[in-house]
Amino acid sequence: MRMLSTFMLTAGLLFAAIACGTNTTPVAANPADADSPAGNAPVPNAPQANAPVAKAPGAAQAVGDYVTIKGQVKLATIPKPDEVNVTTDKPICCKDGAPLLDTKVIANAKTGGVKNVIVWLRPDDEDRTKTFPQDKIHPDLAKPKSVKHTIDQPNCQFEPRVLAAREGDTLVVKNSATIGHNVNYSSDAESINLTIPPGKQHELAQALKTQRTPIAFKCDIHPWMAGRLRVFDHPYYATTDADGKFEIKLVPAGKWKVVYWHEGGFHKGKDGILGFPIDTKDATKGTMELKPLDLELPK
């Protein structure tokens, strides 16, 4: 009995020594291999000292991450518009005997601002096939709702004559005139060539697809009627207004190239196909004002 008591006492002392003197915490891994800082396991939902701070979808507008670009395109010399040689439906197209003027170049006589110039951003790269990086697009603009664009033919001219759209948008061609018109439209994705009676319209069967080249459309009944459409896979484009002004919102800060294209060609011709360097950054309250550009069209 004495031997049994001695054994139980010895075993108890040994168990107590093991329980109190042995560290059972696992050896910490190399901090460079850890997903979180070395030490105790992170508390769920607690902010970590070295963890990146997540941004709300609209928060990126602040402090230079994104910037709205504003600018103006001008002509130093404004050409006199040519008179159209109207060979069909002259009483309608030339109301009250007034000549129908060509609308290829529309400029403000007072300011020199040029309408219908499409301005867009592209990567700062000499490879023309490079596309705008989708991961750089502002979250608010990443997945927009489809926009329905309309081209009308009210006065023997297309209105608008030049437009820009984003992939996924749709297009309707209408005829609000009192005479019949035709629309001959041809893109890489869809082509149509049909007559649109007065007061009617036609919607393209497919949503618009991105295309590097401008999409031409015309009226075969009235051969002077023509226009262009450009479709982009990103939101960083604009069409100049009647005063030549444009605005491109929420552009990611960084180095890009800005392209200026008119129906008559690229600014500075072949030298402007890839665009011109621009370093977008927050200048004042989230905007960046560009100097007015004097448009130089190919001759």
Please, what's the b/e burial string for 273-293 (b: 16 or more CB within 10 A of its CB; e: otherwise)? Answer: ebbeebebebeeebebebeeb
Please give the biggest Cα pair distance in the chain. 133
pLDDT number for residue 286: 87
β-pairing, 201-203 vs 181-186, is unpaired
- Distance, CA of 49 to CA of 45 (rounded, Å): 13
Residue 237 near residue 121, CB atoms below 8 Å? yes
Domains of the chain, residue spans: 67-294
pLDDT number for residue 299: 84
Integer angstrom CA distances of residue 177 from 88, 182, 186, 198, 199:
14, 12, 23, 6, 7
> Whose CA is closest to 260, among 246, 243, 249?
246
Residue 158 near residue 190, CB atoms below 8 Å? no
Residue 217 near residue 163, CB atoms below 8 Å? no
pLDDT number for residue 96: 84
Residue 260 near residue 272, CB atoms below 8 Å? yes
β-pairing, 254-262 vs 276-280, is antiparallel
pLDDT number for residue 83: 96
CA atoms within 13 A on the CB side of 254: 15
pLDDT number for residue 284: 60
Terminal Cα-to-Cα distance of the chain (whole angstroms): 118
Q: What is the CATH number of domain 67-294?
A: 2.60.40.420
pLDDT number for residue 283: 59
Give Cα 116 to chain centroid, integer Å: 17
Both tokens assigned to 291: 């100097």
> Whose CA is closest to 115, among 293, 246, 270?
246
Name the residue with tokens 């060979």. Answer: 87
Write out the chain's pLDDT in tens, 299 residues: 444 344 333 444 333 333 334 343 333 333 333 333 333 333 333 333 333 333 333 333 444 689 999 999 999 999 999 999 999 999 999 988 899 999 999 999 999 999 999 999 999 999 999 999 999 999 999 999 999 999 999 999 999 999 999 999 999 999 999 999 999 999 999 999 999 999 999 999 999 999 999 999 999 999 999 999 999 999 999 999 999 999 999 999 999 999 999 999 999 999 999 999 999 987 567 899 999 999 999 98
pLDDT number for residue 152: 98
Both tokens assigned to 266: 């690229």
Residues with Cβ within 8 Å of 245's Cβ and at least 6 positions away in sequence, in order, are 70, 71, 72, 113
Residue 211 near residue 229, CB atoms below 8 Å? no
